[in-house]
């Protein structure tokens, strides 16, 4: 696109649920603006808050490729519903019309004579034309010039015009944001991150509800390789795009797993291990001010996720365990993992620490009394504190 004669490229952001917040709205918007600035710290941007819209201005003469990169990056920030690469033009109906014509000319829709509609909005009522007049005027110019049919109900191409205080925005670009709430507006959680497909998606889902998420990974070292740690690190790096400043801790878990095996846990080994993970996570959460744990459990997916076994895990900790995938099908989780860019990483081979304790006939309905007995023999509470003492922190380079 080459429209510099008519205006400057910029990026418009539409907020979602935030606009439903009454008195807290300002707090949410402050956080969102901070998150946007952090995500775009590699770019020179001037953020302008307008009513229900955030406009990101770029220095004069900035190329459209830069605006494109900004639009792409900012669409990863939770709390934004729609992102538009727009053109900022003078508040003059003839300039607006020319800009709309140029924009349409460069779309693929023009060659296949796709249907279109013009949608105008005025945030400044002093503009000489009403929204309806602008729609009709620009619409008939596009129709006359390119012969595209108008479809108000179901257009293939939408030309949007927003009349603002100091300028007019014109765009045909509509890309989805992540939706949800700004990270940090719901507090802090600790995600139990395996190398699997589910837990990264679970962490993402909670970020999108405003939680800032830290990550805890249990590795079977010294009895497994370090592959799963690299995977966890790669997953956190990818997920970091949605929140920034992510922290990953790794628990060397192999020896504790060995103790579980020699404790006579037998068919309960897997659940006993899950509970020990949760107790360790609770300890780490307290130290780092997280008030919830997050797992990738989905009801009935594997034997550790039967209703009875999930209940047996809940009683291992006083913290709430958030399980955002509990009601999702595997196919839905896989689709989301693909969309957020974690699937390919999760599919890399690794030596999952869980296989150390996998039994041929795992218990499907663990009883709390049996687990408590095993934990007494293990001194699980003390073990969890020791494990929390032994965590290794991994820094994410910016």
Residue 84 CA, distance from chain mean position: 19
Of these partners, Mg ion, ligand ATP, none, which one is at the site of residue 297 (CB under 5 to 8 Å by kind)?
ligand ATP
Nearer to ligand ATP, 199 or 265 (CB): 199
Nearer to ligand ATP, 120 or 194 (CB): 194
Closest distance of CB 11 from ligand ATP, Å: 34
Rounded to a whole number of angstroms, the distance between the first and last alpha carbons of the chain is 31
Nearer to Mg ion, 146 or 223 (CB): 223
Of these partners, ligand ATP, Mg ion, none, which one is at the site of residue 199 (CB under 5 to 8 Å by kind)?
ligand ATP
Closest distance of CB 202 from ligand ATP, Å: 6
Output the DSSP codes for 92-123. -HHHHHHHHHHHHHTSGGGTTT--EEEEEEES
Q: How many other C-beta atoms are found inside a 10 Å radius of the C-beta of residue 102?
A: 17
Closest distance of CB 55 from Mg ion, Å: 43
Longest dimension (CA), the chain: 83
Residue facing ligand ATP at closest CB distance: 196
Nearer to ligand ATP, 283 or 297 (CB): 297
- 276 vs 218: CA distance, rounded Å: 11
Closest distance of CB 328 from ligand ATP, Å: 11
Of these partners, ligand ATP, Mg ion, none, which one is at the site of residue 293 (CB under 5 to 8 Å by kind)?
none
Of these partners, Mg ion, ligand ATP, none, which one is at the site of residue 182 (CB under 5 to 8 Å by kind)?
none
Q: List binding-site positions.
A: 192-193, 217-218, 274, 296, 305
Residues of this chain that interact with Mg ion (CB under 5 A) are 194, 196
Closest distance of CB 355 from Mg ion, Å: 10
Closest distance of CB 353 from ligand ATP, Å: 5
Q: Residue 113: left if φ>0, alpha if ψ -120 to 50, beta else—which one? A: left
Nearer to ligand ATP, 137 or 205 (CB): 205
* Three-class SS state of 87: strand
- 135 vs 152: CA distance, rounded Å: 10
Strand pairing partners for 252?
219
* Three-class SS state of 194: coil
- 114 vs 191: CA distance, rounded Å: 46
Closest distance of CB 294 from ligand ATP, Å: 7
Closest distance of CB 352 from Mg ion, Å: 6
Of these partners, ligand ATP, Mg ion, none, which one is at the site of residue 173 (CB under 5 to 8 Å by kind)?
none
Whether the CA torsion 267, 274, 325, 40 is positive or negative: it is negative
Residues of this chain that interact with ligand ATP (CB under 6 A) are 192-194, 196-199, 217-218, 277, 295-297, 301-302, 304-305, 353-354
Nearer to Mg ion, 139 or 196 (CB): 196
Phi, psi of 107 (to 5 degrees): -90, 150
Q: List binding-site positions for ATP.
A: 192-193, 217-218, 274, 296, 305
- Helix H or strand E segment including 371: helix 368-378
Of these partners, Mg ion, ligand ATP, none, which one is at the site of residue 296 (CB under 5 to 8 Å by kind)?
ligand ATP
Contact 38, 24 (CB under 8 A): no
Question: If you search the block for the tokens 């009454």, which residue do you land on?
Answer: 22
Nearer to Mg ion, 352 or 375 (CB): 352
- 157 vs 121: CA distance, rounded Å: 17
Nearest to 320 by CA among 211, 189, 204: 189
Contact 210, 182 (CB under 8 A): yes
- 151 vs 232: CA distance, rounded Å: 49
Of these partners, ligand ATP, Mg ion, none, which one is at the site of residue 302 (CB under 5 to 8 Å by kind)?
ligand ATP
Of these partners, ligand ATP, Mg ion, none, which one is at the site of residue 299 (CB under 5 to 8 Å by kind)?
none
Nearer to ligand ATP, 70 or 193 (CB): 193
């Amino acid at each position: 696109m080459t429209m510099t004669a008519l205006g400057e490229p910029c990026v418009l952001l539409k907020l979602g649920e935030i606009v439903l917040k009454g008195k807290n709205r300002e707090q949410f918007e402050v956080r969102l603006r901070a998150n946007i600035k952090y995500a775009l710290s590699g770019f020179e941007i001037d953020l302008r808050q307008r009513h229900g819209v955030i406009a990101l201005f770029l220095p004069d003469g900035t190329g459209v490729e830069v605006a494109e990169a900004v639009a792409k990056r900012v669409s990863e920030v939770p709390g934004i519903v729609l992102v538009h690469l727009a053109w900022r033009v003078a508040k003059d109906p003839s300039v607006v019309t020319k800009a709309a014509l140029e924009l349409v000319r460069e779309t693929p829709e023009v060659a296949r004579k796709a249907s279109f509609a013009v949608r105008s909005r005025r945030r400044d009522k002093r503009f000489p034309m009403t929204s309806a007049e602008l729609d009709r005027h620009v619409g008939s110019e596009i129709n006359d010039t390119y012969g595209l049919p108008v479809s108000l109900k179901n257009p293939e191409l939408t030309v949007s015009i927003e009349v603002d205080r100091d300028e007019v925005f014109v765009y045909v670009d509509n890309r989805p944001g992540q939706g949800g709430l700004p990270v940090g507006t719901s507090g802090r959680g600790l995600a139990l991150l395996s190398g699997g497909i589910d837990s990264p998606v679970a962490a993402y889902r909670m970020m999108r509800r405003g939680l800032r998420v830290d990550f805890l990974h249990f590795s079977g070292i010294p009895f497994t390789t370090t592959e799963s740690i690299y995977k966890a690190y790669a997953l956190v790096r990818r997920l970091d795009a949605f929140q920034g400043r992510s922290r990953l801790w790794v628990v060397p878990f192999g020896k504790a797993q060995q103790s579980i095996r020699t404790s006579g846990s037998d068919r309960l080994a897997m659940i006993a291990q899950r509970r020990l993970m949760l107790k360790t996570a609770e300890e780490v959460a307290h130290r780092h001010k997280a008030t919830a744990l997050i797992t990738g459990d989905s009801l009935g997916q594997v034997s550790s996720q039967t209703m009875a076994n999930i209940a047996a895990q809940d009683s291992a900790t006083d913290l709430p365990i958030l399980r955002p995938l509990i009601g999702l099908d595997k196919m839905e989780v896989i689709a989301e993992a693909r969309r957020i860019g974690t699937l390919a990483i999760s599919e890399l081979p690794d030596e999952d620490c869980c296989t150390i304790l996998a039994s041929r006939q795992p218990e499907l309905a663990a009883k709390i009394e049996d687990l408590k007995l095993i934990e007494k023999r293990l001194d699980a509470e003390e073990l969890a504190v020791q494990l929390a003492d032994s965590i290794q922190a991994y820094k994410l380079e910016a």
